[in-house]
Amino acid sequence: MRLNIAVLASGAGSNFAALLAACGDGRIDGRIVGLFSDKPGCGAMALAREAGIVAWAMRPDGFASRAAFDESMFDAIAAVQPDLIVCAGYLRIIGATAIARFPDRMINLHPSLLPRHPGLHTHRRVLEAGDAEHGASVHVVIPELDAGPLLAQARIMVRPDDSAESLAARVRQREHPLLVATVAAIAGGELGLAPPSWQGRPLSAPLQLGADDRLAPSPAGAPS
């Protein structure tokens, strides 16, 4: 049974496009059933409309409260009956009430090696901290910001001449295959969310994306 996937995005939509392509060519056994955004004019919305996918976007400042915006958006999400909700460059904090409507069915792509550098401006903060490594993480969404169980990560080395912009560009190149591989593993039944598991065994550390764009347990986090 194909996985019904709803995607949340606020920006250009490159990760949404990667998911859409992977569903189209069979790398993900699923289909995108809707794109939802807080920015009606963003690139992701245009991509969804071009693809004939349900596209919902409203400006949060048109609502009385954060909770009211969340309720409206997640009512629209519920209407497409997703099996999985993917936050792919969605830049608003989601309230606990909305998250509780879809327990263990929502994941987020974050541009750092969590638990290091939750929140914004991760590339700049990596340089300021003198980190040797940087990357991206996929985690289960919980009410605490960027604190849910980790599922998978992609790593890059920080170069001596890196700027925040160059780091962002190189991380983005690994974000796309990381997100596709993670969603594909969920759709294929290899990766479980509640609790995190890999091939039916508990996952004690996030999976790592290899040079071949495939996920595998890290040596320290191999299932026991």
- Look at residues 75, 62, 82, 158 and name the one whose alpha carbon lies nearest to residue 113: 158
Q: Are 223 and 203 in contact (CB under 8 A)?
A: yes
Catalytic residue (choose from 110, 123, 134, 139): 110
Beta bridge partners of 139: 108, 150
Place of tokens 């250009």: 12
What is d(CA 179, CA 184) in angstroms, rounded to the nearest whole number? Answer: 8
117 in catalytic set: no
93: left (phi over 0), alpha (psi -120 to 50) or beta: beta
- Residues 112 and 134: their CA atoms lie apart, in Å, by 6
Q: Is 52 left (phi over 0), alpha (psi -120 to 50) or beta?
A: left
Output the CA–CA distances (angstroms, integers) from residue 72 to 34, 98, 173, in the order listed.
Answer: 15, 10, 33
Q: Looking at the annotation, which residues are catalytic?
A: 110
